[in-house]
Structure 1
Amino acid sequence: MKQGQKVLLGVSGGIAAYKACALTSKLVQRGYDVKVIMTEGATQFVNPLTFQALSRNPVYTDAFDEKNPEKIAHIDLADWADTIILAPATAHLLGRVASGLADDMLTTTLLATTAKVYVAPAMNVHMYDHPSVKTNLKTLEGYGYHFIEPGDGYLACGYVGKGRLEEPERIIEVIEQHQSKEQPLAGKKVLVTAGPTIEVVDAVRYFTNHSSGKMGFAIAEVARQLGAEVTLVTGPVQLDEPVGVEVINVTSAKDMYDAVTKQFNEQHIVIKAAAVADYRPKKQHSRKMKKQDDDLMIEMERTDDILKTLGKLKTDQYLVGFAAETDKLLEYGQGKLERKNLDAIVINDISEEQNGFKSDTNAVHVLTNKGFNKAIPLKSKHEIASQLFSIFIGEMSGDGS
């Protein structure tokens, strides 16, 4: 976090709410602009006037209390915040947020924001260890939320163990360290393509491929976590849209070509992970073709080569291609790297079951035009994406990887 950054503090109803007062004060002292949302339960522990005095801003407690008739308060706050901190985050709040509920000012704002969210849980040690709480934490992690682990110590319930809200100084320290180390792409624009394309034959038939979009979506999610402004151009997939990412949905190879070339000039990094059709039917029928007794011949024509076009258009963009191969991986990958004027190419052997389009794991080989050559063994696609960005960022900075 940088001085002057806008911090929205969400306080829920636990005894640890008193620590949120100290957290508010310390954030203000460090130069942050702080606004506070309190749940109804939180107001039973701390008076809203306390947070108003400490933050020097209005405190929000009621989703129906519109202080400015020209603005919708929860939307305005959601857009205003650079960073959101939930402290303390009770088991009840975690459950509501993980379920996507919007039944008060805090949960409604959380659904509407694209800001980075940090969660500092606080609850009884057995509650924190309950399977439902663990499930909710895992769900929120999947949404891109970050967690500040509760400390060990004496709890208000009399137990001694894990569940105590981390100290305010430590909460700020963890967030500042995370944002300073984990956002090397802050201020950068990243374009990612993902998924298959669909090429229409007639009113009911089309050609496509097995791409699930999982690798491209993982790359977009990691780019956003690293601080980039991310645009994801995706063909038809069955995946949830990444939080905080601009998504452009396309269908055909031509749709993707048009969307990508339109966005290309303003990007810093372009990663083309989509499996785009190389051919499409030369003629598309608006009505269903009826079955004939004889064999059917469909004449195909080449689609525009998106990656080759970008290689010709690029100025200072870092351009990455993907190659799904079944044999001669390095030979074909190196050829594509040179032929299409890429900065890097990521090659994966789709003949291996765990590396296939629809799997959650992948194993890849990375080649760059600077001679970098590295195999990344089988990992989750999210982990692969993180390692790829380590390589790309190192290459762009000239520091290696």
Structure 2
Amino acid sequence: MLQFSDNPPLSLYVHLPWCVEKCPYCDFNSHGLKGRELPETDYVDALLRDLEPELPLIWGRPIETVFLGGGTPSLFSPEALDRLMSGLRALLDLRFTRELTLEVNPGTDMASRLAEYRAIGFNRVSIGVQSFDDRSLERLGRIHDRRAAWRTIEAAHDAGLDSFNIDLMHGLPGQTEADGLADIETAITLEPPHLSWYQLTIEPNTAFAFSPPALPPEATLDRIGEAGQARLVDAGYSHYEISAFARPGHECEHNLNYWRFGDYLGLGAGAHGKITLPAENRVERRVRSRHPNQYLERAGTAANIEAHDIPRRELPFEFMLNALRLTDGFPVSLFQERTGMPIAVASKTLRGLEEDGLIEWDIRDIRPTERGHRFLNDVLARFLPDD
């Protein structure tokens, strides 16, 4: 039987699934508008209906962070987002929410909107830059150029946001080592408090999967990755998660809750949620209808939600899948707090990883070594339950 001492921290994720155009590398649940009108009024109504079945699961629990992702949430007007946030505040305890993030795209004229988002209550934005090279942006199917990205980052500083992130990719089609490091240097010049820097991968069921571009050779990818990480650390950014770098005090609290296996509500088309129910000794996954049209029809009904318990034997893998992404790892006590099981259930695997030099383990903390982070997929595979 699982034994939980308390509820984990609780976050809220809201998925807004539309984009102007779907990028060829993107495997998220996003849908290009293709000239159609954005159904923002109907969708905000659906999101608020969608929340109602969740309320009995989380009575009395404050929401610590909120993240509006997509898609391109910044396609929604400030008026629609204000109405959404007003509705969420009426139903949820957001009094102590520390971080409220909105994903934005430089291609949707953000420079004029960021101050309005700040007035609504968003204190953090995440800007999908991907590259500062116009040729790379074109190859990635992005609808903005270098100048639009630059202007949006400057506007984020001017808007008085508490923090903001920029997303950058490396290993892009035709990219050289010099190109990849030039993106890093430009980013450092613009002084974002937080930077997500990750390698482009070709995901199934994307346009790139059906028509793969020519990517740099493995040796070039390794050099870009290692040199870029070193440059960011040298510039004062903490490499606190595999693909996340932050100035002191600007780590993404919402993502940290995921990585520490906290709880989260998921609203919107295809959104996932995880809720711990200590009194019932179980952890439940909840998934919404994926297609926006289906979601609009079903929101607020039982047909919109698929729910299942995470099996006990899968909980160690689910926990490690998140927690070992963190450079500093996790306190040993956190494992039992979040899985309801003693660390002893994973001790054989942990000892083997320690002997192989992939983790470090002392009385208080478990953390991946540099080698363990580099081969994290191999590390995580050791925690998969036997069939």
- TM score, norm. by length of structure 2: 0.30
- Relative contact order (alpha carbons < 8 A, sep ≥ 6): 1 or 2 greater? 2
Higher Cα Rg, which structure: 1
- TM score, norm. by length of structure 1: 0.30
